[in-house]
């Protein structure tokens, strides 16, 4: 089974049935679903990346909009899924960070790891995403029954994004992205170190917080597309230069 086929199959066999079972209806001729709550309408569009290919992997995510109640089909067709929308990552632990099938895009099926093509068994993909739907995404959606509920959720998500764990993961993700072109004695290496210093400041992380959480870095590295690369020397060098 190709990566594209696995992506399409998990959408058809896991995502869509879970939404229908939770009371969502499909919007004819689209990849969208909707649910009319008493005080709002929840619209969900299954979005595929236009950059999907065998190297980057085949990614998809759920664009979710909470709008006014009792929207007609015509109004639902006109819902702007890119304005005031959020994704299923908000419902996942740590907002989807350190998930075995996710990156910043959303769910990612296969792609390359250590410069070699991946071939994740479909059964593994199906089990992980089905668990996400049953344990986190559907329960999260069920808690939103009004625009006020949604606004409360947004406030909670914003607070969660400020947690130390999330900030550390984001810092280590940035550090690992800077690995491949890193050479300490080159202009590129100098630029990368400056970027990492700025990232630390933006995330309000202390040197001790970073150095004491190498275990989080190791997990980030393990789940990355190039786990053979070790960014820790770059991190230590950047911190010691401060």
End position of a domain, from candidates 126, 160, 194: 160
The total of structural domains in the chain comes to: 2
Same domain, 104 and 191: no
| β-sheet bridge partners, residue 234 | none
pLDDT band for position 187 (cuts 50, 70, 90) = very low
CA geometry: angle at 64 spanning 59 and 67, to 5°? 160
Same domain, 85 and 182: no
Same domain, 109 and 182: no
Same domain, 185 and 100: no
Residue 154 has pLDDT above 90, yes or no: yes
Range of the domain at 205: 164-240
Same domain, 126 and 172: no
End position of a domain, from candidates 123, 138, 160: 160
CA–CA separation, 200 vs 88, rounded Å?
A: 27
Mean pLDDT of the 60-79 span: 86
Same domain, 38 and 75: yes
With a CB cutoff of 8 Å and minimum separation 6, the contacts of 104 are none
Higher-scoring residue by pLDDT: 188, 76: 76
Same domain, 130 and 188: no
CA–CA separation, 143 vs 149, rounded Å?
A: 7
Q: Tell me the H-state helices in the chain.
A: 3-10, 16-21, 73-77, 122-132, 138-142, 147-160, 164-177, 187-202, 207-211, 214-223, 232-240
Same domain, 82 and 178: no
| β-sheet bridge partners, residue 69 | none
Q: Note the pTM of the prediction, 2 decimals.
A: 0.89
pLDDT value of residue 153: 96
pLDDT value of residue 73: 77
Percentages (nearest 5) of helix, strand, coil residues in the chain: 50, 15, 35
Closest among 43, 46, 35, 135 to 92, alpha carbons compared: 135
Same domain, 108 and 218: no
Same domain, 96 and 212: no
């Amino acid at each position: 089974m190709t990566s594209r086929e696995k992506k399409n199959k998990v959408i058809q066999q896991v995502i869509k049935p879970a939404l229908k079972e939770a009371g969502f209806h499909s919007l004819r001729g689209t990849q969208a679903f909707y649910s009319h709550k008493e005080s709002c309408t929840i619209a969900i569009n299954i979005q595929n990346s236009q950059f999907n290919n065998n190297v980057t992997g085949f990614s998809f995510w759920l664009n979710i909009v909470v709008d006014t109640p009792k929207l007609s089909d015509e109004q639902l067709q006109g819902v702007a899924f890119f304005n005031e929308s959020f994704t299923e990552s908000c419902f996942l632990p740590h907002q989807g960070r350190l998930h075995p099938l996710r990156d910043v895009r959303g769910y990612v099926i296969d792609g390359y790891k250590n410069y070699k093509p991946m071939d994740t068994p479909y059964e593994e993909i199906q089990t992980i995403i089905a668990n996400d739907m049953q344990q986190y995404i559907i329960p999260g959606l069920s808690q939103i029954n009004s625009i006020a509920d949604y606004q409360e959720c947004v406030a909670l998500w914003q607070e969660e994004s400020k947690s130390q764990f999330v900030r550390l993961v984001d810092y280590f993700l940035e550090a690992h992205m800077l690995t491949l072109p890193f050479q300490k004695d080159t202009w590129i290496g100098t630029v990368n170190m400056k970027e990492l210093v700025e990232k630390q400041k933006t995330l309000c992380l202390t040197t001790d917080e970073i150095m004491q959480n190498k275990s989080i870095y190791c997990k980030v590295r393990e789940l990355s597309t190039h786990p053979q690369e070790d960014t820790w020397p770059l991190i230590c060098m950047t911190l010691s230069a401060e």
